[in-house]
Amino acid sequence: MSLVFEPITLDRQKEYSKYLSMCSQKTSDYSFVNLWGWAEEYGLTWAWSDGLVWIKQTVPQEVYWAPVGSWQGVDWRRCFDEHFTAKTLFNRVPESLLELWNERVSRLITFEESRGDWDYLYSATDLIELKGKRFHKKKNLLNQFKKNYAFEYVPFGTDMVQKAMEMQEDWCVWRDCESSEVLAAENRAISRTLSKWEHMQILTGGALIVDQAMVAYTIAESVTKDTLVIHFEKGNPDYKGVYQAINQMFLEHSGSKMKWVNREQDLDNQGLRKAKLSYNPVGFLKKYRVILNGA
């Protein structure tokens, strides 16, 4: 029986989150917020079958993501035989699911690392305290921001959405989003997420205000009891140290009870990779590309 794919909808987010909670490894790609925000950019759809939520990407080409649910109880050979053909590609497959597939159906798959999709994992305590030589430059920039600007940190709520949308428009002018499809796509994903803020059940965030204007904001969610994922983080480049400030202050206010901070992928962008490495990750949530070989 073929899988029946349909648009990702807000009314099933709570149901979807239950399936995600069953996964033994939860990477940032599979949070509902991420699926919703990027659904139009990647042409994402989902199908509910076999006790799993199957995810299909149709833009720029058709490829599947890892299914979401209780992986251990699945008859993978039957699922692959029933729903897919040889040469079907799965992207963003978390390491723990790949290990399970290698145990159960190793002859049916070929795989390779997908370094650009790896999630960066940090110690929440490290990013809040910024202690030692490793974080000297970050701490220095944070202190400069605190010294130079009469700022206010505020939790992100519905009343912040409009200001964030306006700042995002300005940010796109500063970064010339129109000349970069990657930045333009991210801008659309942010707008799509912010526009439905009141319907998102698990979003949190923070913002920095200077002279009644928003100069930075961050949008995040907890994907496990001890891990916070930072989905979007933007700052006005005219304010020196603004990124270090929003990063540290948000975690100090809303992430102090968390053990880990997931700052998502670098997508093989070397500038982004350098920036993410500069915060001294303690590890990665590795992901892989998997091709079905057929029976």
Does the pLDDT at position 295 exceed 60? no
Query: Average pLDDT of 180-198?
Result: 95
Mean pLDDT for the chain overall? 96
For the segment 229-246, what is each residue's pLDDT rounded down to a tens digit? 999 999 999 999 999 999
Joined tokens for residue 118: 């790896």
Joined tokens for residue 233: 């983080």
For the chain, domains (ranges, CATH) are: 6-118+287-292 (3.40.630.30), 119-264 (3.40.630.30)
Query: Average pLDDT of 256-271?
Result: 96
For the segment 139-184, what is each residue's pLDDT rounded down to a tens digit? 999 999 999 999 999 999 999 999 999 999 999 999 999 999 999 9
For the segment 72-90, what is each residue's pLDDT rounded down to a tens digit? 999 999 999 999 999 999 9
Q: What share of the chain is helix, strand, coil (3-state, %, to 5)?
A: 45, 25, 25
Distances (CA, A) of 262 to 64, 144, 183: 23, 26, 21
Query: Average pLDDT of 248-263?
Result: 97
Query: Above pLDDT 70, what percent of the chain?
Result: 99
Does the pLDDT at position 120 exceed 60? yes
Query: Average pLDDT of 185-198?
Result: 96
Query: Quick one: pLDDT at residue 2?
Result: 86
Query: Average pLDDT of 63-70?
Result: 98
Angle subtended by helix axes 32-42 and 181-195, to nearest 10: 130
Query: Average pLDDT of 249-277?
Result: 97
pLDDT band with cut points at 50, 70 and 90 for residue 202: confident
Query: Quick one: pLDDT at residue 294?
Result: 67
Is residue 53 within 8 Å of residue 12, measured between CB atoms?
no
Distances (CA, A) of 89 to 85, 92, 203: 10, 10, 31
pTM over cut 0.85: yes
User: DSSP string covering 210-228, please?
Assistant: ETTEEEEEEEEEEEETTEE
